[in-house]
Structure 1
Amino acid sequence: MLKNILSIAAAAAFSMFAATAIAGAGETSEMNLGPVGPYEPILASVGKSRLLAYYEPDHGKCAVNAVMSAASQDGNAEATRVRVALHPGELFHFDGVRNERIVFTCAPGAKAMTVLNRGEILTKSASTALY
């Protein structure tokens, strides 16, 4: 029962954060590429989009929730949510439209989740900031 309450609370907090923080995603360049523990956010830029992801342990797996948001022409945020369960050591490629991607992996025992291609993301982020 406690696990269900924690899952619901985390999903509610995640949804509220996604609705408010991602809407202003173009205004911030804050990043956290991990490793993160359960319910801690991974924040990244993928091109002109922002990614917010977290995981919850699920019987030794990482149950990942990820939201990608991009500002539309009228200034509103359009978001897409993806959920996937990763076994320890498995990779999840979250691809953008312009050959941009973020690769997640789950640590043994679902103790942590991290972004594997952090050098690629940081390099693209730095080159985007120059323009």
Structure 2
Amino acid sequence: MPVILTNNVAPKSAGTKLDKNQLKFKIALTGNLFNNYGFKDLKPEAIRAFHKFIDETVGKKLTITNAESKLLRTKGKPSFKELVNGKKRDIVHFGQGNTPFRVFGYYNDDGYFVICRIDPSHKFHKT
């Protein structure tokens, strides 16, 4: 007797919404950083600021919600669209206190904050 095949599988959604309250804040580098905003352009004090950013987020095992409430910069537009590796992404940026140091990136489908720009002097929005 033939087996009747059915399509009782739920369709895969185009994307999943991140549960920012549960997921730990994780960072990733998945491609080249934008020109003039990479590691080779960092001075020692900027490297220390980047290390502090890592300590304050990943090092403290913060959730995405905690990291955003502590470090997400929201003056003006909190996010903007930018073409990254051929795909439009919602770019957000993080900074610490009143320092000009900023880290720009987007969240990928796995919940990682993918860094695309390290801006020690916050010159990106000033150009």
| Both structures adopt the same fold (TM-score exceeding 0.5) | no
Q: Which has the larger radius of gyration?
A: 2
**TM-score bracket, shorter-length normalisation:** 0.3 to 0.5
Relative contact order (C-alpha < 8 Å, sep 6+): which is higher? 2
TM-score calculated relative to the size of structure 1: 0.32
TM-score calculated relative to the size of structure 2: 0.33
More helix by share: 1
